[in-house]
Amino acid sequence: MSATLADSLDFRLLNDFQRGFPLVTEPWAALGGQLGCGAGTVLERLAALQADAKISRVGPVFAPNRIGASTLAAMAVPVADLPRVAAIVSAFPGVNHNYRREHRYNLWFVASAPDESALALSLDAMGRATGCPPIALPLLEEFHIDLGFDLANGRRTRHAVGPAMPRRQLAAADWRLIDALHDGLPWLARPYQAIGEACGRTEADVIQTLAGWLADGTLRRFGVVVRHRELGYRANAMCVWAVPHEVVSRLGHALASHDGVSLCYRRSSPGPEWPYTLFCMIHGQSRDAVEARRAELAHAVGLTAFPSAVLFSTDCYKQCGARYTAPQTLPAGRDTRPGLAA
């Protein structure tokens, strides 16, 4: 395959299948049919993109607070101690994102657990293990959370936010399926069959369950999960404002309607040490571009009068899918290398 063709194919794999991924017995062959190549080529290129850290996985992105319990959390860590503390936090299986950011609260991570009680115990254990008690900032209202990203235009994909859904009660078999999907689909010709074998379900049941979760909003999307930094969007800022309760919802919806906002939500404030309630993420190819876009957005939405902070990320310690239960593995003897799919 020529370099030009590989680049073109890679771009389409990265850009076109972040959602709407085929829920069929042989999804790689279905992608190949759309792209004009064979399933083996699709597997080879996706595995190469993952090896180059341009994608995290091909798999589910769950809607926030639809299953289990999760929260954004932060620690104020002495700079010299950051590597040690970050490693301890990352070792907790429920931590799926862990970043260093420019602020007194300099370690930021997302923690997940099967329920609120287990989440509280996990955060307490992190504080005791590191000597740095975390502050928890649970989600109160979602304005835009997706991270689907149009690489052609450098914009997030538009996704309407529906009303908040109640937390779904899952059977043990569903939790096993979620756990089996943590690292994404394996590079096998029939990946849903392998996932089913890992959790005691049939291939058809896995496909039907995922389709149902997409339909009822349990899954935000299913597809290629890209890594923005490795794709050239190296400037990543969490922008926050201390917005009063009575106007935060209106301003949050207004902020989320603008291009350049990757995430936007309202979170609880634990007190004066962190007074900020309105959060958004802005990704860009340079720090200057992100700062300029933030200033434009604050002026357009009417946020300039509120106390604010900008927290650029400088190091990524961990990035993976959310894990709510203990790790499990695919059956022994299944080789997941491209080209060796059964």
pLDDT tens by residue, 283-315: 888 999 999 999 999 999 999 999 999 999 999
Is residue 240 pLDDT above 80, yes or no?
Answer: yes
- Residue-wise pLDDT tens digits, 173-227: 999 999 999 899 999 999 999 999 999 999 999 999 999 999 998 998 999 998 8
Q: Give the Å distances, CA to CA, from 127 to 133, 169, 245.
A: 4, 29, 29
Q: Give, as one character, the DSSP assignment of residue 95.
A: E
Cα four-point dihedral sign 267, 287, 147, 197: negative
Q: Helices 191-199 and 27-35 meet at what angle, rounded to 10?
A: 160
The structural architecture, per CATH, of the domain 69-157+229-319 is: 2-Layer Sandwich (3.30)
* Chain segment 38-84, per-residue pLDDT in tens: 999 999 999 999 999 899 999 998 887 788 899 999 999 999 999 99
Contact between 123 and 134 (Cβ < 8 Å): yes
The SS3 assignment for 237 reads: strand
**Structural contact between residues 233 and 215, judged by C-beta atoms closer than 8 angstroms:** no
* 81-90, 116-125, 164-173, 197-206, range with the lowest pLDDT: 164-173
Phi, psi of 109 (to 5 degrees): -150, 160
The confidence score (pLDDT) of residue 1 equals 43
What is the pLDDT, as a whole number, of residue 341? 38
- Distance CA(67)–CA(102), nearest Å, equals 31
CA angle 138, 144, 148 (to 5 degrees): 115
Strand 263-267 and strand 139-145: pairing?
Answer: antiparallel
Residue 330: what pLDDT? 37
- Which positions ≥6 away from 301 have C-beta within 8 Å? 251, 254, 255, 258
pLDDT for 339 beyond 80: no
One-letter identity of residue 62: F
- Is the Cβ–Cβ distance between 157 and 20 less than 8 Å? no
pLDDT band at residue 144, thresholds of 50, 70 and 90?
confident
Tell me the C-alpha distance between 245 and 44, whole Å. 50
Comparing 34-38, 48-52, 237-241, 333-337, the range with the smallest average pLDDT is 333-337
Does the pLDDT of residue 157 top 60, yes or no? no
Q: What is the pTM of this model?
A: 0.81
Smallest Cα–Cα separation from 218: which of 22, 61, 59? 61
Q: What is the mean pLDDT of residues 136-147?
A: 83
Q: State the chain's mean pLDDT as an integer.
A: 87
Mind spelling out the 3-state secondary structure of 105-124?
CCEEEEEEECCHHHHHHHHH
**According to DSSP H, which parts of 18-171 are helical?**
27-35, 39-51, 82-91, 116-130
Percent of the chain whose pLDDT exceeds 90:
66
Question: Band of the pLDDT at 126, cuts 50, 70, 90?
Answer: very high
90-116 pLDDT, tens digit each: 999 999 899 999 999 999 999 999 889
Residue 72 main-chain phi, psi, to 5 deg: -80, 140
Q: Which token pair is 117?
A: 């009680």
Closest CA to 213 of 180, 178, 182: 178
Band (338; pLDDT cuts 50, 70, 90): very low
